[in-house]
Amino acid sequence: MNRSILLVLCCFALSTTAMSNFADTTVVRRSYTTRHLQAPVTLDGIPNEEAWNAVPWGGDFIQWKPNEGKAPAQPTRFKILYDEKYLYVAYHCIDQHPDSIVRRMERRDQFPGDWVEINIDSYHDLRTAFSFTLSVSGVRGDEFVSNDGNNWDVNWNPIWFAKTHIDETGWTAEVKIPFSQLRYGNEADKTWGIQVTRRIFRKDEMSTWQYIPQNSGVWVSRFGELKGLANIPLHRQIEIAPYATLQADKYKKVNGNPFAKGFDTKLTGGLDGKFAVTNDLILDFTVNPDFGQVEADPSQVRIDGFQNFFEERRPFFMESRNIFDYQLTGSEAGGDYDSDLLFYSRRIGSSPHGYPTLGSNEYVKMPLNTSILGAAKFSGKTRKGWSIGILESITQKEMATIDNNGETRKELVEPLTSYFVGRLQKDINGGKTIFGGIFTAVNRDNGLPDLHRSAYSGGLDFFHTWKNRVWYIRGNLVFSQVQGSKQAIFKTQTAFEHLFQRINASEVSVDSNRTALTGTGGTFRFGKVGGRSGPHGRLFKFETGVTLRSPELELNDIGFMLTSNEINHFTWAGLHWPKSFLIFRQARLNYNHWSRWDYSGKYIYQAFNFNSHATFNNNWQTGTGTTWAVFGISNNALRGAGAIRRLPGISHDAYVTSDIRKKLYVNFNINNFWGFQHTMRNSTTELGLYFQPINAMRISLSANYTYTWRKQDQFVSNVSVGNTMRTIVGEVKQHTLRFIGRMSYNITPDLTLQYYGQPYISRPLYDHFAYVTDPMAKKLHDRFHVFANGEINEVNGKYHVDEQGDGIVDYTFNKPDFNFVQFRSNFVVRWEYKPGSEIYLVWSQSNTPDASADLRNDVAIPKSLFDNAFDNQAARNIFLVKMTYRFLK
């Protein structure tokens, strides 16, 4: 604790000194004046129409990377015009060696090869912008930029038009952006922020029109200005996109099971839409959405009790999610707590919570996911600096159908549920100060006594920056309340995230009569993101803070929370060299430390980390880091049977990536952890190959192998022995092997073929079983009683324990070994046959076979994986055709 405070004070002293010496280099804010279009423009990528002569070329770009402040290798020019409906942009990317222009193609938002980009701050709030990127091959990319450039959301997909052309002077482009896709106020004469950026791929060089020093730590707030926009009418965006989906499922027929006939078909339809309530506030809605074209989640198995986190991939929930994003921490130092969210959209439409009780001759038809009847999202930002986000979604009441020799019944597995999220933020002083709040609500119909009837959470947050946005403080306070039956609240109290039943936990206790829980949490962060550069452009940055979760905090109805009852302190400090020097294009040295307490005041974790990263002049990248875990106690590992001492140990990681500009490049990663006292070993090795045989095709292959060994302290089971409880642990060796293959092929920029495939196996094997005697003992062997010969025997997949040696079994527990094999793949043909309208052809395959026999036969892991994962007899194949047509106004 004292060491942590001393390090924080040292960081503060160093950074305060840097602040006193800070003098922001004066950078002139540039401006470009546009004019109203007086003659038609043909969008062919060649800006040779007479109309373009009405405005001058903007130019005089300056390098941003790698040699900041120097002249770019090739000059760039642009022009901007407008009419009542569109903003027109022309580019001339001069290149003395046009044969060297890299024309790679990829799917939308992948930014391949040479490209040029315009960022438009049409709100002119100095914090947000709309980004439009165009590659020389005609691939479009678009992002919504927020948090002054610290967040780029590629899931924003506006409708816009572009063409490119290559000639002897380099390449040119013409872009047409509908005003309906932007957000702006109703003032007669407008001033917008703009930035134009060009990338020369072969040199990995980026140059910008408006110079923004890398050490400033900001982006949108330093844009140049676009002037001359006058009397643009307000365009209320109206888009309606109905869709139809035809799906056929082929799988293994099960004799006697009326729900497994081997082949099913279904035809569904739905509707997506957008309606601009005002020019800057948009209502998005969806009715009976279908996400059949979405890539499958990666396979993942955890034996430590924590839940898995999966990224959101569904288009409706991905777009505009920056407004609804509410991280509890979001620290620069990082940690498990950084995954905690007040709103985790994957909760909507997830698997049903219930499962029916089946008899010996019964079969069940279970919905794989809860159906979303409809969802609506109202979001945007006003000219007065108010950011607004409201989301409401209703999921269907789901029933399982059970068959018993031809007689069927239905059983509830998920009640009708309403999910609500409201988010509000207010910019003050040009976004230098921001106040905000969030409120979420989940309300369910009665029917499943284990589920909360209602769950509410909310928070207040603030952000303030000063000294040219270099220094900042930010924080939040959050609360939660869940309500339900005594059964539901008891289940929450004893769940892995809370464990109120934990032995010797003075701060918590189980109350079986409670019908509600109320929790709180919060985060405070203080740091520095930019400033005056030192020798060779060296820049000092840091952040320190604290984040809390009270024992009763519960967010998992609509949010994501790994665990409660924690107070975490973190500090990160870094020396960064963003400019090229010596043999480096850029380099970073970082230091982190973490400390943790529970709400009883017990000290439970301490770790220190140092890491370094560098990009060399030949564009190779490498990095390495070491973490010393000094002290650790886990309140969760024994699943409520008390806390147990874990760690200490030391870990090391390293990676190297060859030049990503090459048609073939390689990435290699290793990570190792060694527990002191020979208590644990974890090793991960990953190799990735990335190949671009032709400009239109990209192939990637990766292999990941992880080996985990824990001596004695891996939880197995809590079993009752008379009036006492035995916590059974064991030694575990877990092998996990994963392969991932991806392929994308562009027939045109709007017609793509994509494939994703992942074979996966994870096999934990347990041995040397014991029960916990003194979990806080300093030496590992003093924490357990290891079963001796004669005390434990395996019989038909169960372990029988005779502690007394009298021939009478005192208790049993199940054999915990398993062999999990899974294969998931997607093949998608996507054709955007007109802007915003698409056709998808999808073949999806999933296979999770029963591979337990390979344990008994001691089949090697690679053989078990490939024998089972590619068994087409057990696979489920889904063939899907989806068509959308977008009507625009």
For 539, residues 6+ apart whose C-beta sits below 8 A from its C-beta are 214, 215, 530, 531, 533, 575, 576, 577, 578
Q: Which pair of structure tokens corresponds to residue 338?
A: 């950084």
The Cα–Cα gap between 118 and 130 comes to 8
588 beta partners: 576, 613
Report whether CATH 2.170.120.12 matches the domain 34-230: no
Please give the Cα distance from 45 to 57 (Å, whole number).
Answer: 16
Do the Cβ atoms of 239 and 279 come closer than 8 Å?
A: no
**Tokens 């060649």 -> residue:** 46
Predicted local confidence at residue 8, as pLDDT: 41
Query: Residue 834 is which amino acid?
Result: K
- Cα separation, 763 vs 486, whole angstroms: 38
| 804 CB-contact burial (10 Å; exposed 0-12 / middle 13-18 / buried 19+) | exposed
- pLDDT, position 535: 60
Q: Is the pTM of this model over 0.85?
A: yes
CA neighbor of 210 nearest in space, from 88, 89, 78, 24: 78
Q: What is the spatial distance between Cα 162 and Cα 141, in angstroms, rounded to a whole number?
A: 11
Structure tokens at 600: 């009883």
Q: Are 130 and 181 in contact (CB under 8 A)?
A: yes
For the chain, domain boundaries: 34-230
Distances (CA, A) of 168 to 112, 445, 863: 22, 68, 56
Query: Read out DSSP for 250-295?
Result: E----TT-TT--SEEEEEEEEEEEEEEEETTEEEEEEES---TTSP
Residues 6 or more apart from 377 whose CB is under 8 A from it? 283, 284, 285, 316, 320, 389, 390, 391
E runs forming strands in 382-515: 386-395, 398-404, 407-414, 417-428, 433-444, 454-466, 471-483
For residue 537, the model assigns a pLDDT of: 66
Hey, how many other C-beta atoms are within 10 angstroms of the C-beta on 678?
10
Quote the tokens at residue 210: 């408006």
- Euclidean distance between CA atoms 303 and 155, whole angstroms: 33
- Mean pLDDT of successive 10-residue segments in the chain (889 residues)? 43 41 64 95 95 96 92 97 96 96 89 94 92 95 90 88 96 95 87 97 95 88 95 84 94 91 93 85 90 86 93 85 90 94 95 92 92 93 87 96 93 97 93 95 94 97 92 97 97 97 93 97 94 71 97 97 97 92 93 97 97 96 97 95 92 97 96 93 97 95 96 94 92 96 94 95 96 94 92 93 91 95 95 92 94 92 93 89 89
Residue 470 and residue 23 in contact, taking contact as beta carbons nearer than 8 Å: no
